A and B are shown apart, each in its own frame.
Chain A
Amino acid sequence: MVATGTRGAATPAPDSIARRGTPLLEATGITKSFLHVRALDDVDFAVWPGEVVALVGDNGAGKSTLMKVLCGAYQADSGTVRVEGEEVHLRSPRDAIARGIAVVYQDLALVDHRDVAANVFLGREPTRAGMVDKARMVREARAVLDDLKITIPSVQTLVGLLSGGQRQAVAIARAVHQGGRLVFMDEPTAALGVQEQAKVLRLIADLKARGTTVVVVSHNLQHVFHVADRIVVMRGGRKAGERDKGGTTAEEIVGMIVGADRLMPAPAGV
C-alpha cells in the first residue's frame, strides 16, 4: 500500500459536511496507544441527533477502538469528548449509559440461560420489596419489543434458544431500553443469515424513525449504504475521510478504506 498521508482535513469539498446545531456526541483529537502501537491518532468524530452514521475501515483501522473509547470501555490517552456540548469523562460503560450512550456488542453480550425479559433488563433489574419485579420486567420488555416491532413469541423464552437475528434484536432492545439516545452497533449483521440481516437493517431504520441516533461499525458496505446517512472511513488509526451517502459511491469508499482514493481509479466491479 502506498502511504498517501490523507487526512480528513486535507480532503476537499465532499468532506466539509455542515451539520446543524450541537452534535449529540463530539470527540476531538482522540489518541489511544496500546504499548507501542498507536491505535488512534488525533481522530475527530461527531454525530448529530437523528443520524445513522457508519464507521468503516479495514481490520486494525481503529474503528472498534474508537467505538470503545466513545462508549467508555477504553480510556483515551488524549482528546476530549462532549455530549451535547458538555465535556464528559467516560470512565466505564456505566458512565456512558448514564449519558444515554449504549452499545450493542458484536458478540451479542447476552446471557443465554436467562429469558428475554431478564436480558432486556440485564444489570438494571427493577425491584419491589427487595425482590426483582418480574411482572414489570415481563410487561416492559414486551412493550419495548412491540415498540420496535420485534417479533418474539414470549419474553420468557431463554435467549439461548432464539435465532441469531432475534438475539441481535434483544440486544438492540436492551440498548434502547437503557435509555440509549445514541446506540453504537458493532458489526450488527456479521453473524447472521440473509433474512435475519434484512430484519436487523429494518430495525436500524425503525430506530432512526423513532429519533434514536445510531452509529454502525461495519465491514459490509452494502449494508452501510442501505442504512447510513453518512459514512466515516478509518485507516491506520486515523480518519481517512467522511462522506454523505448521497455524495459518494461504494468505489470511492473502498478507495478510502484501502488508501488508494487519489492515486488510482477504483477497479471496475468493486
Chain B
Amino acid sequence: MARASAAQTDDLASPTLDTLSPSALRRMSLGQILRIRELGIFVATVAIFAFLAIARPDTFLTEFNLLNLLRSISFIGIVAVGMTFLFIAGELDLSVGSMYAFLAVMVGWLMVDQGWVWWAASLGAVALGAAIGLFNGGVTTYFRIPSFIVTLGMLSALRGGALVRSGGTPITGVGGDQPDFYRFTGAQAFGVVPAPILWFLGIVLVGGWVLAKTRFGYHVYATGDNARAAANAGIRTVRVKIACFVMTGALVGLVGAITAGWQRTGSPTAGNQFELDVIAAVIIGGTNLFGGSGSILGTFLGAAVAGMIANGLILLGADINSQPIAKGAVIILAVLLDVSIRRRQGL
C-alpha cells in the first residue's frame, strides 16, 4: 500500500524530468523541485565551474582553455546523446573511443590518399559509423549476447583497424587544400563560438526532441524498461535497439570528421578512453544504466561535468599517469550515487 499512497503525491526522491508530468511539476513544492535530478546536475556544473575559476584563475578562465573545454565537452556530448538512447534502450557501446579513432583515420585516408572532397569523406565516416553500429546492434540482438561483450570486442578490433589503415602514424595534412572543412569543424562561428559547439547544440536539440516527443523515443523507453512488455504490445524491440546502435555509430562518425577537420589530422591513437568520458557523462546525467529512464538534458549537463573534470584534473596539476585513476573513480562514484538515489525512489 506504500506504493499506492506514493502515487497520489508523486513522491519521488530525485526524479528525472522524463518521469514528471507537467501537472506533477506544478503540484511540486520548492523542496521537491530542488530535488529534480537535472537541476542537481546543473548546480554541480556551476559549482565545479566556480571552483576551477577560483582555484586556477590564470589557467582556467583563459580563452584558450575555455575554447578547448567547450570543444571537448562537445565531442563527449555528441556521442553521449547516442549513448543515452542506447542506455535507455538497455544497451551500451564500449567501442565508441576506438570507433572515433578509426573514423577520423578513415576521413584522413579518404581525403589524403583517395582525394575525396571533405563533405563526401565526412558523410562517408557517418555512414561507416552507422554501419558499424548496425553490426554492433545486429550481433547483439540476433545472437542475444550482451552488447557489453560485442562492443568490447569491437573496442579492440576498431583500434586495430585505425592502426592498420593509418600504418600506425597519424595521417596529416587533412583538408589542407580545402579550407571549408576547417570552417565547418574547427573555426569559430561569428568569431566566437567554436563550430563543434554548434554541432553539439544541434544534436542535443534534435536528440532531445526525438527521445521525448516521437513514437520512436517512447519505444526506446519501453524497450529498455521492460523488453517483454514492449514486445507483447507490438513494439519491435530489436529494431529499436539496432536503431540506437546505428545512431550512436553515426554520431561517432560526425565527431571523427569534426576532429579530423579541426586538427587536420586522422590520428589512430585519438579517443583513448573516450568511451569512459561518454559513459560518465550519461551516468552523471541521471540516465538509468539498467535502462528505461533518462533525458538528453541530463546528458547535456553530464557532458559539461565530465569535460570539466577532465580539464580540471590537468589544470590542478594531477599527474598525467594518475588521471585514469581519477576518471575511473568518478564513474564508480557516479554509479553509486545514481543507484542509491534510485533505491530510495523504490523504482
Q: Are the CB atoms of B232 and A125 closer together than 8 Å?
A: no
Q: A153-B8, A162-B4, A163-B3 are in contact. Are A110 and B229 (CB under 8 A)?
A: yes
B residues within 8 A CB of A191? none
Q: Answer whether residue B325 sits at the interface, using C-beta atoms and an 8 A cutoff.
A: no
Give the interface segment out of B65-73, B142-150, B199-207, B211-219: B211-219
Q: A109-B232, A162-B3, A162-B7 are in contact. Are A130 and B225 (CB under 8 A)?
A: no
Q: How far is the CA of A123 from the CA of B227 in the complex (A)?
A: 12
Q: Answer whether residue B326 sits at the interface, using C-beta atoms and an 8 A cutoff.
A: no
Q: A105-B232, A123-B235 are in contact. Are A112 and B225 (CB under 8 A)?
A: yes
Q: Which residue of A lies closest to B221 (CB)?
A: A114
Q: A125-B218, A161-B10, A162-B3 are in contact. Are A109 and B24 (CB under 8 A)?
A: no
Smallest CB separation, A124 vs chain B (Å): 7
Q: Answer whether residue B192 sits at the interface, using C-beta atoms and an 8 A cutoff.
A: no
Q: A93-B234, A111-B229, A113-B225 are in contact. Are A118 and B214 (CB under 8 A)?
A: no
Smallest CB separation, A108 vs chain B (Å): 8
Q: How far is the CA of A73 from the CA of B24 in the complex (A)?
A: 37
Q: Which residue of B lies closest to A153 (CB)?
A: B8
Q: Answer whether residue A264 sits at the interface, using C-beta atoms and an 8 A cutoff.
A: no
Q: How far is the CA of A125 from the CA of B226 in the complex (A)?
A: 17
B residues within 8 A CB of A174? 233
**Contact digits for A92-132, partner B, Cβ 8 Å, 1 yes 0 no:** 11100100000101011111111100100011110100111
Q: Answer whether residue A85 sits at the interface, using C-beta atoms and an 8 A cutoff.
A: no
Smallest CB separation, B5 vs chain A (Å): 9
Q: How far is the CA of A107 from the CA of B300 in the complex (A)?
A: 35
Q: Are the CB atoms of B7 and A153 closer together than 8 Å?
A: yes
Smallest CB separation, B36 vs chain A (Å): 14
A residues within 8 A CB of B228? 107, 109
Which A residues from 132 to 172 make CB contacts under 8 A with B?
Answer: 132, 152-154, 156-158, 160-163, 166
Q: Are the CB atoms of A112 and B347 closer together than 8 Å?
A: yes
Q: Are the CB atoms of A94 and B222 closer together than 8 Å?
A: no
Q: Are the CB atoms of A127 and B232 closer together than 8 Å?
A: no
Q: Are the CB atoms of A109 and B7 closer together than 8 Å?
A: no
Q: Are the CB atoms of B292 and A111 closer together than 8 Å?
A: yes
A residues within 8 A CB of B18? 113
B residues within 8 A CB of A94? 234
Q: How far is the CA of A93 from the CA of B228 in the complex (A)?
A: 12
Q: Are the CB atoms of B347 and A161 closer together than 8 Å?
A: yes
Q: Answer whether residue B19 sits at the interface, using C-beta atoms and an 8 A cutoff.
A: yes
Q: How far is the CA of A73 from the CA of B222 in the complex (A)?
A: 19
Q: A113-B225, A113-B292 are in contact. Are A156 and B23 (CB under 8 A)?
A: yes
Q: How far is the CA of A105 from the CA of B22 in the complex (A)?
A: 31
B residues within 8 A CB of A163? 1, 3-4, 7
Q: A112-B292, A157-B10 are in contact. Are A122 and B225 (CB under 8 A)?
A: no
A residues within 8 A CB of B219? 123
Q: A154-B23, A156-B21, A157-B10 are in contact. Are A113 and B234 (CB under 8 A)?
A: no
Q: A113-B225, A154-B21, A156-B23 are in contact. Are A123 and B347 (CB under 8 A)?
A: no
Partner of A125, one of B8, B23, B215, B347: B215
Q: Are the CB atoms of A157 and B7 closer together than 8 Å?
A: yes
Smallest CB separation, A70 vs chain B (Å): 14
Q: A160-B347, A161-B347 are in contact. Are A111 and B225 (CB under 8 A)?
A: yes
Q: How far is the CA of A160 from the CA of B12 in the complex (A)?
A: 11
Q: Answer whether residue B337 sits at the interface, using C-beta atoms and an 8 A cutoff.
A: no
Q: A127-B215, A162-B7 are in contact. Are A114 and B234 (CB under 8 A)?
A: no
Q: Which residue of A lies closest to B2 (CB)?
A: A163
A-B contact pairs, 9 of them (CB 8 A): A103-B232, A111-B221, A113-B18, A118-B218, A125-B218, A132-B215, A154-B21, A154-B24, A158-B7
Closest 6 CB pairs of A and B: A156-B21, A123-B233, A109-B229, A163-B4, A122-B233, A123-B234
Interface residues of A (CB under 8 A from B): 73, 92-94, 97, 103, 105, 107-115, 118, 122-125, 127, 130-132, 152-154, 156-158, 160-163, 166, 174
Interface residues of B (CB under 8 A from A): 1, 3-4, 6-8, 10, 12, 18-19, 21-24, 213-215, 217-219, 221-222, 225-226, 228-235, 288, 292-293, 346-347
For the complex with contacts A93-B234, A103-B232, A113-B19, 18 further pairs of A-B residues with Cβ separation under 8 Å are A73-B232, A92-B234, A107-B229, A111-B226, A111-B229, A113-B292, A114-B218, A123-B219, A123-B222, A123-B235, A125-B215, A132-B213, A156-B23, A157-B7, A157-B24, A161-B10, A162-B3, A166-B4
